[in-house]
């Protein structure tokens, strides 16, 4: 057994299959994939990696298994899945999921494949575990898969607390110890024990508060969009989607710096010399149809805006429709496990809040952002007054860290 | 004025020259230089950067200036120096100082030059500050330079607390707020006010406790030594010292991965597949003369050990003689500022402790480490019993994170 | 200037009028009034006092004044009011407000009087401050009074964070530093600057999450109700309301221990040998009219229930109608200061949640609690199924600390 | 099994004998005995109690037993002893130990008796545990008794961290999790595993740093001395030592407030209107013989000083000779368990430091403190220059909280 010191959970004990998996290249690779992609451009301390997060998820899974009295091979499978749950992530993690999906048809690297071959498969088999079943757990299959990937999974508990710790934003601090102690299996599915409606709500609230301030902060979104466009240029230049998703953050940044077509993007991202917002439109100011356009149409619209503004580079950033998976968290109330959205008045309010926080963005270099904003309002058919046009205030420093 | 959220000091207000300097490429570059180099291979959460540290040092300098009632241009110079104090650092920071020194005659990039040209110079001049005087403060010149670089500098206060926060090791937690409040200028030099012998001692103790557990942890030292040798191979292959010191961590890792001569080192460092200790010798078991050999002689000795062990790669790691600069910290006692080593019984004890913690290491790949250890004992003339030969225990995982 | 070490805000600098007020008996008395009354029977670490809270409120007021650039006598008045805002609190603070109100017509000691006489008046006058105006600020009068007592006051910011720190419940952790930085005066009233709808919401959410788990935890409510009844017996025995409200926690506990009529209550409260719940009814299961009965009628109902159950002692605990003052917090949106309940979907949801969390309780000693519960359902006309009857499970320890 | 939320260790699980003991009057009484006596007059947040500390010690003992693989009745005995280890403490804990000792011949209440009778004995016997053997463990008897009371006991680990948490002084933060994981039994005695010389040193250093700043802070010492003298007056007035040691803090304070002879002391202690130092002498300035005088002689000397200064009340405070029990902590080095003072250079230095920090104090009301100081120097034969005479600076507030 080995003990690893973690800045969030203090001492993490690693034994059995987890200990052997730790040494495999796919797990060690996660040291080089940042947890929050471009969020460090808003919160300079947010440099934590998928590796420490994976250790944290393993740790919480291990504690949950102990509280649920699940032992033996079944438990080892869950521990393996917890430690491995992010091995498929590409460079900059969720930031490039969409880009990878459009090229490979999958958001991540092929987890089944990663687990069925090489060092990981060897370790799993050494411990008598079937790679396919572990991959199933990673995908959330079965009762125990919910613990790894579901509404009440330990993934969420770790990342909320860890992201709060490293950004310095307190909103993500959930009482993960209590949540884990209160987990039960009711009718074959994970639920929180009676008396925990509020514990479940606190998990939703933590996400809802972290979303606009951290995960969807406009500066992080601008940088992410710039990274996506630059990476697409690399792909257009010959890089394959399969190669991309196996890179780590260093590989991608090195490739962006080395390629003539993306060198300027790499410089901008490295030096925090980012595009600015020409448009920042709410849902109610955005034509419904815009939410359903595909990536090709987005590129066309960018071209039209660029042409209208006589600008070279324009980015149109349309997030998906708001959704809230935690709302189906089950809590025992009056003896039966009920979905939180049936039980909690807050869920519907948070759904509304999420719709209100949705923003469409149009970004461009600072010197052209005003005309780009004006052109975009016309091309996209946005409500002129609603869509904030330009946050470039003359004389204000364009690249300063800011968290508002 | 802008406010940046920091995981250690919470909100950091940035205004004046500091705000403008923040946007300059040399400062933004520090986002890509890790604070602790290879220590993240021991403490997975230790991914913090010189950028956030520089912000922290600026913040503490700002507070110290306020407590010392220093204002105006003089204060702006100190704030600029605090923010800029690490801009000369090469990739992996202190890890490669020696390598850079041997090629360029300086441990860092040329700070005078960096401050006198380009964006930094422009900002300093905009604010009516002389780059040369700011560079002087970075080097510790004058009364106020001691605040930036001296026995009682804010650099030390920030890094002890920050490194403790990110490694999870509590020993570095000093009461920096109190230390800053108690700073005084006595006879033209910085000192702690009366009643602070213990505050001064706590700073020394924090360093003394962090040293073996964090800064000189054997795994971090092995990785550092491997990185140094690999970087030297790059330099032998044509990279200049000047190019090296301007790289950031990504650049260097990309270069190591791209070059055939260093690809295997890069893989080992990225996957934590490190050399092991064949020898780990205390000061009393090491011939005095060994402490004074130069780098060339070390390379020769490595060759002799390799030959004797029939091994390809051997690293001999001889740290410098132990020293303890904080011991000359001045504290007011009985009305006069006295050097702490005159005042505190602990200082001499810590000096002894430091000598006891000194270790010479000989490292090699796991499969040859036992014979390398035996050969090294002979070649180096070490005390056979004292020098621990080999920590490779059969069946133990060679790359597992461990913090003991 | 003096510096005090606080476990929440670290160093608190006290100067000017605050420093002199600190030594006055009414302020020092707050050392002996616990912040959370009987909550320490649920959370054993919740032993913090109104004294440290008052220091914290002073500290946050001082920072807010600095951010709002308010100086001079006006600022000193606010600082004095912040430090003095709780001097009127009786023993066990809010726990006995109702009891004191029924005897004296005021919830607290006479703050105007306390400030206008004795040591406090002398200090205020020494610093050229009018006691009447300071008392006005304590009562929330005027623009600046809102900072001390209003929807966005520093009182709330301190107690949420402090109560979270001392109970160990993370929900109260608000970003008070940010809230204070974002305070503005808009049209003569305090408001949060633009971009802070969410900051305002986080303050409401913190309260809403702390309420059921800390402030209205059923065990704390039972103990509070027992304390109230015992104190009423002391008052019936000759203690005056004026004497009561000047006592501190020790005085009251000593009086309860010394008096034959209350000795048993004092023993039960000191040894956590509390009554149990016979009824725990939701709002929807409670006849509307019950919410408006006065204290005399409650004592009659208690008598009827006791008679019906053949029990000696019964407590009927009917909280007031749910209210939520923070909902009128003003936030700048689109250039104008708007009330949060107009702006935030969450406010209405939290109002509903608060109604759902409301509970009527009937408490009695463990050995009679079942029959008391049954009798109470009849006497009070509660919905039989809805009102949980008895939580005394045979063989379960009646006095164990529990936080569910 | 029950879970209690603790501000230091978060969730503490209580089961078995500990759960039943929790409800007994002697354990619940500890809620009303503060952990640090008069230290809250220096650090206003230091209001934590022996109750939460006892829970913490139980928790750490439980974890240590788990790491040492000790189970069954043997483990239950240790858990019981850990929870009960402070039940003998009188009011204000260590502050009045000496007073109680002089009247009853024991520092504490009779622990053997407390465990052998009443509710505690009943619970122990219910769980098949012999009260005598549990009392033996509390006294440190046997291998396992060292875990409860010895150089490496969990008592020390909890109080250092807890006192640091509640005072806000960071020096006490030890890595208790690591210390507990590294405990071993070597040759029938507790020791730290190999590689932990530094962990052992950190425990000593924490104590050494906390001593002058917290435990022996001069203001806390003055208040403690005043409390002792006042309590002695109560004893002279008829209170028995046996009655005294069964009181809790409230009882004693109420008694001091009620008795005419001590009413003024109670007021001074409650309002922080303390005596001041007339003398504060180092060891080297104090005649050796003074360290061995008994309590009666001290009272005589006080009388002589009072007479010489024409003062009514004088307190002479002579601490015992410095000692350092942790120095015999055993650590495995080179395969054998060695005493830390043989292994660590720091131990001897800390011993010297402790001698240097020793202070003899003479205290008196502010208005007579200068003449008392002068008289004391003569009566006691102190070095005139060395003994600081009077810290009453005119115009300075005598009762202000201060932590320097």
Q: Which chain D residues are Cβ-neighbours of B353 within 8 angstroms?
A: 344-346
Written as six digits, the tokens of A381 are: 């058919």
* Confidence check: pLDDT of C390 > 50: no
Gap from A164 CA to chain B (nearest CA, Å): 9
Average pLDDT rounded to a whole number, residues D279-304: 94
Instruction: Tell me the chain B residues in contact with residue D212 when contact means C-beta distances shorter than 8 Å.
Output: 198
Q: Give ranges for CATH 1.10.3210.10 in chain D.
A: 2-168
Residue from the list B3, B11, B177 with its beta carbon closest to the beta carbon of C10: B177
* pLDDT tens, position by position, B52-85: 999 999 999 999 999 999 999 999 999 999 999 9
A11 vs A33: CA distance, rounded Å: 22
Return the structure tokens found at D121.
Answer: 């004995």
Task: Report the residue of chain C nearest A212, measured CA to CA.
Answer: C198
pLDDT-derived band at A194 (thresholds 50, 70, 90) equals confident
The total of other beta-carbon atoms located within 10 Å of residue B302's CB is: 22
Q: Phi then psi for C327, rounded to 5 degrees? A: -65, -20
Tally A–C CB contacts below 8 A: 50
- Residue whose tokens read 């422009």: B122
State residue B363 phi and psi, 5-degree precision.
-120, 150
Chains contacting A with at least 3 CB pairs below 8 Å? B, C, D
Per-residue confidence (pLDDT) for residue C392, from 0 to 100: 37
Burial of D59 (0-12, 13-18, 19+ CB in 10 A): buried
Cα-Cα end-to-end distance for chain B = 44
C-alpha of A37 from chain center: 8
Q: What DSSP element (H or E) covers B306?
A: helix B295-309
Give the contacts of B105 (CB within 8 A, at least 6 positions apart).
none
In D283-329 the beta strands, taken as DSSP E runs, fall at 315-317
Q: What is the pLDDT of residue D392?
A: 36
Q: What is the pLDDT of residues A280-335, one digit of tens each?
A: 998 989 999 999 999 999 999 999 999 999 999 999 999 988 776 667 888 888 78
* Cα–Cα–Cα angle for B312, B318, B321, rounded to 5 degrees: 175
Distance CA B124, CA D301 (A): 68
Structure tokens at A92: 């900059």
User: Residue written as tokens 């250890």?
Assistant: B373
Closest Cβ–Cβ partner in D3, D177, D178 for A181: D3
Task: Give the per-residue pLDDT at D264.
Answer: 97
**pLDDT score at B393:** 34
Name which of D11, D178, D181 is nearest A177 (Cβ-Cβ): D11
The strands making up C336-339's β-sheet, listed across from edge to edge, are C183-186, C189-192, C330-333, C336-339
Two tokens at B96?
């490669």
> What's the first-to-final CA gap in chain A, in angstroms?
44
For residue D53, give how far its alpha carbon lies from the nearest alpha carbon of chain A (Å): 21
Q: How far apart are the first and last CA of chain D?
A: 44
Tally B–C CB contacts below 8 A. 10
Average pLDDT of chain B to the nearest whole number = 91
Reported as type and span, the H/E element at residue A301 is helix A295-309
How far A340 CA lies from chain D's nearest CA (Å)? 25
At residue A196, the pLDDT reads 86
Q: Residue B44 pLDDT > 60, yes or no?
A: yes
The overall average pLDDT reported for chain A is: 91
Q: Which of A60-69, B226-235, C79-88, C140-149 bottoms out in mean pLDDT, i.e. has the lowest?
A: C140-149
Residue B286 has what DSSP assignment? Answer: S
CA separation for the pair B297, B247 (Å, rounded): 28
Residue C352 — pLDDT band, cuts 50, 70, 90? confident
Inter-chain touch B14–A400, beta carbons under 8 Å: yes
- C109 close to C88: Cβ distance less than 8 angstroms: yes
| Residue (of D51, D59, D61) closest to D27 by Cα position | D51
Q: Which of D375, D348, D350 shows the shortest CA–CA distance to D364? A: D375
User: What's the complex ipTM?
Assistant: 0.93
Architecture of the domain made up of B2-168 = Orthogonal Bundle (1.10)
pLDDT digits (tens, 9 = 90+) for D357-386: 899 999 999 999 999 999 999 999 998 776
Choice among A16-20, A115-119, A295-299, A341-345 with the minimum mean pLDDT: A341-345
State yes or no: pLDDT of D175 exceeds 70. yes
- Residue scoring higher pLDDT (B345 or D185): D185
CB C225 within 8 A of CB C212: no
CA–CA distance, D223 with D273 (Å, rounded to integer) = 9
Supply D128's token pair: 């098949």
Joined together, the tokens standing for residue B13 give 């207000």
Query: What pLDDT, on the 0 to 100 scale, is given for residue A388?
Result: 60
Please name the residue of chain B whose CA is at the shortest distance from the CA of residue A21: B400
Residues of chain C within CATH 1.10.3210.10 domain(s) are 2-184
pLDDT value of residue A395: 29
Contacts of D5 in chain C (CB under 8 A): 43, 45, 167-169, 403
Q: B334 vs D278, D353, D374, D388, CA distance in Å?
A: 18, 18, 20, 11
Chain center to CA of A353:
20
How close is the nearest chain D Cα to the Cα of B63, in Å?
20
**Of C211, D29, D198, D91, the residue nearest A202 (C-alpha):** C211
Of C214, C222, C212, C207, the C-alpha closest to C168 is: C214
Confidence at D196, pLDDT banded by 50, 70, 90: confident
Give the sign of the dihedral formed by CA C207, CA C213, CA C217, CA C218.
positive
- For A13-50, the pLDDT digits (tens) are 999 999 999 999 999 999 999 999 999 999 999 999 99
pLDDT for the residue B404: 33
User: Is the pLDDT assigned to residue C181 strictly greater than 80?
Assistant: yes
Residues in D closer than 8 angstroms to A3, CB to CB, are 181
Interface residues from chain B to D (CB-CB < 8 Å): 169-171, 173-175, 195, 198, 201-202, 205, 209, 212-213, 344-346, 348-350, 352-353, 356, 404
Element at B282 (helix H, strand E): strand B276-282
The values of phi and psi at residue B40, to 5°, are -65, -15
Residue with tokens 């219910």: D126
Task: Tell me what the mean pLDDT of segment B276-304 comes to.
Answer: 94
**pLDDT at D171 (0 to 100):** 87
C313 Cβ contact partners less than 8 Å away, ≥ 6 residues apart: C275, C306, C364, C365
pLDDT score recorded for residue A393: 35
Question: Most B CBs within 10 Å: which of D205, D277, D331, D341, as the mutation test of the B interface?
Answer: D205
pLDDT of residue B387: 67
User: Residue B404 contacts by C-beta under 8 Å, 6 or more apart in sequence?
Assistant: D195
Q: Which residues contact A272 (CB under 8 A, 6 or more apart)?
A: A41, A223, A399, A401, B23, B28, B31
State the nearest Cα–Cα gap between A301 and chain B, in angstroms.
32
Tokens read off for A2: 């080995």
Contact D201 B209 (CB under 8 A): yes
| Integer Cα distance of B92 and B80 in angstroms | 23
Two structure tokens written together for C226: 């027992």
Q: In the prediction, which pLDDT does B389 show? A: 54
Neighbours of C269 (CB within 10 A): 21
Nearest to C173 among A173, A201, A205 (CB): A173
What are the b/e assignments for D281-310, b being 16+ CB within 10 Å? bbbebbeeebeeeeeeeeeebbebbbebbe
**In angstroms, what separates the C-alpha of A40 from chain B's closest C-alpha?**
9
Q: Compute the half-sphere exposure of residue C306: CA atoms within 13 Å on the CB side of its CA.
A: 15
d(Cα B271, Cα B41) in Å, to the nearest integer?
Answer: 9
Structure-block tokens of residue A294: 């595909």
Interface of C with B (CB under 8 A): 3, 10-11, 177-178, 181
Among the listed ranges C240-249, C334-343, D289-298, which one has the minimum average pLDDT value? C334-343
- The verdict on pTM exceeding 0.90 is yes
pLDDT of residue D96: 96
- How far from the centroid of its chain's Cα atoms is residue C398's Cα? 26
Say if residues B85 and B57 touch (Cβ distance below 8 Å).
yes
Residues of D with CB under 8 A from a CB of B: 169-171, 173-175, 195, 198, 201-202, 205, 209, 212-213, 344-346, 348-350, 352-353, 356, 404
Which residue in D209, D344, D353 is closest to B202 by CB distance? D209
* Over residues B133-161, mean pLDDT: 94
Numbered residues of chain A with Cβ closer than 8 Å to any chain D Cβ: 3, 10-11, 177-178, 181
What is the percent of chain C with per-residue pLDDT over 90, rounded to a whole number? 74
Q: What is the phi/psi pair of residue B13, to 5°?
A: -90, 130
A-B contacts (CB, under 8 Å) = 147
In this prediction, residues B39-43 reach a mean pLDDT of 96
Nearest alpha-carbon partner for D81 in D43, D115, D47: D115
Which chain A positions have a beta carbon within 8 Å of D178's beta carbon? 11
Q: What is the C-alpha separation between D362 and D276, in angstroms, rounded?
A: 8
Q: Do C181 and B11 touch (CB under 8 A)?
A: yes
Among A74-78, C285-289, C324-328, which is the least confidently predicted range? C324-328
Contact D65, D82 (CB under 8 A): no
**Mean pLDDT, residues A69-80:** 97
- Digit-coded pLDDT (tens) for B294-338: 999 999 999 999 999 999 999 999 998 877 666 788 888 878 888
* Predicted local distance difference test score (pLDDT) of residue A399: 31
C139-C144-C146-C147 Cα dihedral, nearest 10 degrees = -110
Q: Count of residues for chain B? A: 404
- Cα D352 to the chain's mean position, in Å? 21
Angle of helix C218-236 relative to helix C97-104, nearest 10 degrees, comes to 30
Quick one: which of B251, B51, B28 has its CA closest to A270?
A: B28
Cβ-Cβ contacts under 8 Å for D62 (sequence gap 6 or more): D13, D18, D79, D82
From chain B, the residues in CB contact with A48 under 8 A are 45, 47
Which residues does chain B have within 8 Å of residue A47's beta carbon, measured at their own beta carbons? Answer: 47-49, 52
Region A141-159: mean pLDDT is 92
Spatial contact of A54 and A162, defined as CB atoms under 8 Å apart: no
Q: Which two tokens stand for residue A112?
A: 């089944």
Please give the average per-residue pLDDT across B103-119, as a whole number: 92
Specify which of A348-352, B193-197, C9-13 reaches the highest per-range mean pLDDT.
C9-13
D331 has a pLDDT exceeding 60: yes
Query: Which partners does chain B have (≥3 C-beta pairs < 8 Å)?
Result: A, C, D
Helix axes C197-210, A197-210, angle to 10 degrees: 160
Q: pLDDT band at C223, cuts 50/70/90? A: very high
Q: Taking residues B121-136, what's their average pLDDT?
A: 97
CB distance D88 to D112 below 8 Å: no
Give me the CATH topology for the region C2-184: Hypothetical protein af1432 (1.10.3210)
Q: Which residues of C touch A (CB under 8 A)?
A: 169-171, 173-175, 195, 198, 201-202, 205, 209, 212-213, 344-346, 348-350, 352-353, 356, 404
């Amino acid at each position: 057994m080995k003990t690893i010191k973690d800045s969030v959970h203090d001492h993490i004990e690693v034994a059995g299959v987890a200990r052997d998996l730790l040494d495999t290249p796919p797990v060690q690779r996660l040291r080089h994939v940042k947890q929050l992609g471009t969020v460090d451009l808003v919160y300079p301390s947010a440099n934590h990696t998928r590796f420490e997060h994976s250790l944290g998820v393993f740790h919480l899974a291990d504690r949950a298994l102990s509280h649920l009295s699940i032992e033996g091979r079944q438990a080892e499978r869950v521990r393996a899945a917890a430690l491995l749950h992010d091995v498929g992530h590409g460079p900059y993690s969720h930031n490039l999921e969409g880009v990878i999906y459009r090229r490979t048809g999958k958001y991540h690297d092929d987890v089944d494949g990663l687990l069925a071959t090489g060092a990981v498969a060897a370790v799993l088999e050494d411990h008598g575990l079937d790679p396919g079943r572990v991959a199933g757990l990673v995908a959330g299959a079965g009762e125990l898969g919910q613990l790894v990937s579901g509404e009440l999974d330990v993934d969420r508990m770790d990342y909320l607390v860890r992201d709060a710790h490293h950004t310095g934003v307190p909103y993500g601090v959930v009482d993960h110890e209590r949540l884990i102690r209160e987990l039960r299996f009711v009718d074959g599915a994970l639920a929180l024990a009676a008396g925990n409606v509020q514990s479940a709500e606190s998990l939703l609230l933590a996400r809802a508060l972290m979303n606009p301030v951290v995960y969807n902060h406009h500066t992080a979104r601008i940088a992410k969009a710039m990274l996506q466009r630059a990476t697409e240029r690399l792909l257009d230049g010959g890089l394959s989607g399969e190669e991309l998703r196996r890179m780590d953050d260093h590989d991608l940044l090195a490739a962006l710096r080395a390629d003539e077509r993306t060198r300027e993007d790499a410089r901008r991202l490295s030096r925090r010399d980012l595009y600015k917002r020409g448009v920042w439109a709410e849902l109610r100011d955005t034509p419904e149809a815009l939410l359903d356009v595909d990536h090709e149409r987005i590129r066309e619209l960018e071209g039209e805006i660029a042409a209208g503004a006589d600008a070279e580079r324009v980015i149109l950033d349309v997030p998906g429709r708001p959704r809230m998976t935690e709302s189906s968290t089950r809590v025992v109330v009056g003896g039966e496990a009920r979905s939180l959205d049936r039980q909690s008045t807050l869920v519907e309010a948070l759904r509304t809040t999420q719709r209100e926080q949705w923003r469409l963005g149009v970004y461009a270099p600072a010197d052209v952002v005003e005309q780009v904003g004006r052109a975009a309002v016309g091309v996209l058919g946005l409500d002129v007054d609603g869509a904030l046009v330009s946050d470039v205030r003359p004389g204000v420093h364009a690249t300063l860290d800011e968290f508002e």
